[in-house]
Amino acid sequence: MLRIKCPFCGERDHSEFSYGGDGSIVYPALDAPMQDWVEAVFQRENIRGMQTETWQHVNGCRTWLLVERDTMTHEIRSVRAAHPGVAKALEGSS
């Protein structure tokens, strides 16, 4: 069981959370060329090692999180709210 330290609720079992996906994807502008959209929607780096990924605390505060996790060892390095404003508001509070 992974344990994810939600900045709002504290450390919880990962079964309270839902995995989103690769958190490093930046979606292009709506009128960006097709190729940029193909890249963002379909292409993945699929890192073996530390990756930034999204999780949602669905059975808790429902905040979307950005988690740095090693995809080989499952070690979690950091957890922060995905929304920069929420992240800032929660800074130092947990």
Partner 1 sequence: MTRFSAWNVFRNGLTGQKGWSRQWRDPEPKKHYDVVVIGAGLHGLATAYYLAKNHSVRNVAVVEKGWLGGGNAGRNTTIVRSNYMMPGNREFYEHSLKLWENLSHELNYNVMFSQRAHVSLLHSPAAVDDAARRYNTMRLTDSDGELWDLEKLKHTIPYLNYGPNSRFPIIGAAVQRRAGTARHDAVAWGYARGADQHGVDILQNCEVTGVTRDNDKVVAIETTRGTISAGKVGFAVAGNTSRLWSMAGLGNLPIESHKLQAFVSEPLKPLLDHVVVFGVGGAHFYISQSDKGGMVFGGDIDWYKSYAQRGNLPIVQDVAEAAMSILPCLGRVKLLRHWSGVMDMSMDGSHFICKTPLNNLYLNAGWNYGGFKASPASGWYFADLIANDRPHPVVENHDLQRFERGINIDERGAGPDPKLHG
- Residue 1 sits in the site that holds partner 1 (CB under 8 A): yes
- What's the rounded Cα separation, in Å, for the pair 64 and 80? 9
Span 4-33, contacts to partner 1 by CB under 8 A: 13-15, 18-19, 21-22
**Rounded Cα distance, 55 and 37, in Å:** 22
**Identified binder of partner 1 from the candidate list 34, 85, 92, 93, rule CB under 8 A:** 34
What is residue 39's three-state secondary structure?
A: helix
Shortest Cβ 17–partner 1 spacing (Å): 9
- Rounded distance between C-alpha atoms, residue 65 and residue 82, angstroms: 5
Least distance CB 63 / partner 1 (angstroms) = 17
